[in-house]
Structure 1
Amino acid sequence: MASPLLLSISTPFVRFRRRYLYPHNIAAPPLRYPSSLAFLNPIQSRNLWGTNSSNSLHLFGRAHARGTPTGGAESETPILDEARVGEDSAAFELGEQRLSSWAYFTAVLGAVLVALNVLWINPSTGFGKAYIDAVSGLSPSPEVVLLLLIVIFAIVHSGLASLRDAGEELIGERAYRVLFAGISLPLAVSTIVYFINHRYDGTQLWQLQSVLGLHELVWFSSFISFFFLYPSTFNLLEVAAVDKPKLHLWETGIMRITRHPQMVGQIIWCLAHTIWIGNTVAMAASVGLIAHHIFGVWNGDRRLALRYGQDFEALKSRTSVIPFAAILDGRQKLPKDYYKEFVRLPYLTITALTLGAYFAHPLMQASSFRLHW
């Protein structure tokens, strides 16, 4: 994307692309903006870029206009060509954070983990074991059971996401986020634990774990996949409903590579683990998870189109589902300092959590085995 440009509106004469001239003593007709570009109005909109000047707007676009001040030589006067309609992904300003919000987030996270343990995980008080037993009773095949667990999670997760607008209208954004997480999280934990416990129960299709360099390839692929899988870390306070949850229209960072990073990350993770494990259980997990995320591509675009209209269509025109496709065909222009969009705290957090998850694999496996799901 182009760098920010300054649109001056303080010169006595301004000549735009259609060469309309307005001398300083003749009032120009007011600029009118469509609803999708209402943020360009310097009077009616709040200042998005932090400048206190009422005579300038900092916009994302390319210069295509020339201004001629009275008695002066012709000079460049940038105007908007292609505004960034989406949000800056993973933007994090430490000075804007409130300690009370993060203290509340920590308390909420602790309460959720305690509730999850008592109501779902703990064999003596939770319903997780009964849920797994009920689904397992439908088939003796671990592949079928795993697929059923994924399908149940997918229906609930995507269904609640699709009902988000109506649900938030009915009970509010925060309450609906609590409901969404309260139902989805136990189902996700059950599916993950079942996969860990039964990942080697299927029919072996190939055995490549002794191939030189394969472990490193699988590790690196899994590491990269997490940079695509978790854009939700952009707004942890919203995930925990500390801040009011929103349906965001992200445009920078990983979104320049693909508009649906979770789908791409899931495919990378599934391929890596299927190659490593090499059996029918891993195949079943990959088929179910990839199918769910491919559906999420369609459903996600549908929801964003309903919420953002023309703004989403503009973003869609310069992004792609297939990684790097929009970049290769020229619809997406990467800034020269593109790497800076990744040198941010949320991405550093993903790096730390991914490394932590890798080293915690033995602990995760031992904890799963003790549940006997």
Structure 2
Amino acid sequence: MQREFGEMKEQRRKEMNAMAFGMLGRVALSGVLDVLLLCGFAYAGVIQPDIALLYGMAVIVVSGIFYLLLRSGYKRRSKDPGLTFPQVVTALLVQTGFLILAPQVGYLFLINFFVIYAFGALGLSTFWNVVSWLIGSLGLVLAFSLIGWHLQFPVGSNLGQLLVCLSFILTLGRCIYLANMMSRMQRKITEQNQQLVKAMKRVQELATRDELTNIENRRSLMEILAVEQKRFQRGGTPFCIAILDLDGFKSVNDNFGHAAGDMVLKTFVEIVRNEMRLSDHFARYGGDEFVLVLTGTTVQEGVTALDRICAETEMYDWSKFGKDIILTASIGITDFRPGESIDEAFQRADMALYGAKAAGRNRVMISPDSFESSDGGTTIRAF
């Protein structure tokens, strides 16, 4: 699973790089379109050709600088790896500068503000969008205070009207394109979030469930026991701990292989599941040893189900997994008592299990003092 997360992280990094370079390319292309419009206005005699040339040089220099920064990996680990905010601010400053330099076509630089802010909306948080808006606003105040009365709308000729109309069409197209891109990004982010939720759920399952039998694992068992202990301490809700062990399981692995052993374990889990309640918890403690936590149950009540588990295990036709396989279950059970720790209760259940083994296996043994019994524990049923 760690490898999967590594691959997801690397894939995410590649996608972010591709997105950053793609957006930079679109910004450069947008600048080229503006240069062509300025060339048209220069041809129409509205502005000096130097303005178009200077604007083109600004596009090349700015795009080149950000390309090198992105290639170098600068701020790759920051919250703005695509350098969106610096690009937005730089673009605003460039537009403000040329608005002052060429007020004859000032409308073109003014409408470009909409494209810039649409671009910024793709990668900026609300805070940085507000900051960029304030910077742009200050730029506009400065520009209007300097050349407001020089601003012109160059529609005095047919070519000027055509270029103005074309500039608005291109601006609308760029804004629509960016809005559509934002919509696609949101859908993609939603899909990635869903994949991440599934991956996290899978990680949680791997951390708390046994991969072979799909029941709780040892780590999850300890958490369950801690919860039941707190319930007991708060309200006196009783619970029991039963340790189950398959008699003769080692011979299955030795004589028929681990594949047969795995099938035996899965089958035993199903036998136990059929006899336990939904409120109970069943976990694989290790190898062929399992733990059943019987919630809201006294020992007297719990042994009935354990007795059935022993009977079902003995009667099951294990020979389907290997010739002449015969398996039984030995079980030790204890109740949880006031003032003791989980470890103390668990050790007592473990001692009961060893008592069941020593008494001949294939039986349920209650730990001493769970209720009236001999010092060696009480055998509920022996087959």
TM-score, normalization by structure 2 = 0.22
Larger Rg: 2
The higher-RCO structure (CA 8 Å, 6+ apart) is: 1
Higher helix share: 2
TM-score, normalization by structure 1 = 0.22
